[in-house]
Amino acid sequence: MQSTDTATGRHPFSFTGSGGEYFRIWIVNILLSIVTLYVYSAWAKVRTRRYFHGNTVLDGSAFEYHARPLQILVGRIVAVALFAAVTFGGILHPFAPLVASGVLLLVLPWAIWRSTMFNARMTSHRNVRFGFDGGLGRMYLYVLVLPFLPLIAAAAVGGMLLATDAGGSAAGGVFALGVVGFYALAPWVHRKLAEYFSDNHRYGRAAFDATLSTGRFYAIYLQSFLLAVVVLLVFAGAVIGAAALSGLTLDGARESLGEVIGDDTEALAGTAILLLYPLLFLVGYFVTAFFRARIRDHLYASTVVDGRVRLESTVRTWPLWWLMIGNLLLLVFTLGLAWPWVEVRKARFFARNTAAFAPEGLHAVIDDERARQNALGEELGDAFDMDMDVGF
């Protein structure tokens, strides 16, 4: 457990769970979910969240998760029914999967919104519940409307151009602009969504407040793209340089591979693609680690609770990349049995790199909110069990 720095008011998070301990919970959850045809998965989710909440510690006190399995089961039954209709509905009627997909798309923002509200209310620290007050309309705006506006506009204009005699090439240009607009708008939409989630959370009645920078989001997106290009070029240059130093030419490499797998062109192409997979994983994971670390650090640095508690994230690209690669290797070489250790490693890593700054001490905020909440009370509701990762 990390100690509090009383001089600066820095209160680091810590995670006290272990892979072996969680493995016992996880394997029982898996077996009972199989035996009960997925019904037990709601109980499994509650047990898992209680374990991870109960082992996440801030200022000497663990978080708590108060949900009851039946509250989650109802939403899961509806979700499974919709997914089943999408997957197998075509057996009953050709249009069933299409209708079910449309319903699922329309339900998705509501499910994420309701789940966010539910999970916030079910979480507490020192007997003070969290909450989420975001409006459903803004969830639909940020998830289904704003991201696709350029594509919708391009489809509308392009459709009208196609109706004209010489509108084919113009329509193609409009569609291309729509795709460009979709990607150009993504950082701004991401910022709006992240701000929506942060600003509408509360601890008791103490509001979260995030002041995020649109320019910072665009910079992170652009840096991530350029980093991917640079890393790919560096890796490609390293491979070509190593081949040149060893005196291996392209024809020589082909002949060497031909001796092993023959002269089958498709086999040679398949082997080349197979050899590129590790490279793509390394590059993809590195860019993902860079993106996640920068977004998370910016979100936490920009978030204040009740005007008195400032959050901090110190995630860095290289440690996060090593964590991701290590977790992948653990899963591959254990055929998935290392999943509990992977989850614990992630929880410990992110807790270790998270802190709250409270110059007055956390007890000042907690005591105020405990007094308010005792008079207010909280209602409970059920919800779908869905999450959206915007960086927190």
Per-residue pLDDT of 81-139, as tens digits, reads: 767 776 676 667 677 777 777 877 888 898 889 889 999 999 999 989 999 999 999 99
CA separation for the pair 314, 300 (Å, rounded): 9
Q: Please give the mean pLDDT across all residues of the chain.
A: 83
Per-residue pLDDT reduced to its tens digit, 34-53 = 999 888 999 999 999 999 99
HEC-encoded secondary structure of 145-167: HHHHHHHHHHHHHHHHHHCCCCC
Rounded to two decimals, the pTM is 0.84
CA separation for the pair 66, 76 (Å, rounded): 18
| Region 19-24 average pLDDT | 97
CA separation for the pair 306, 367 (Å, rounded): 13
CA separation for the pair 327, 375 (Å, rounded): 45
- The number of beta carbons lying within 10 Å of the beta carbon of residue 247 is 7
Closest residue by Cα to residue 142 from 197, 210, 221, 216? 197
> Would you say residue 233 has pLDDT above 50?
yes
* Cα dihedral 290/212/134/107 (nearest 10): -40
Q: What percent of the chain has pLDDT over 90?
A: 51
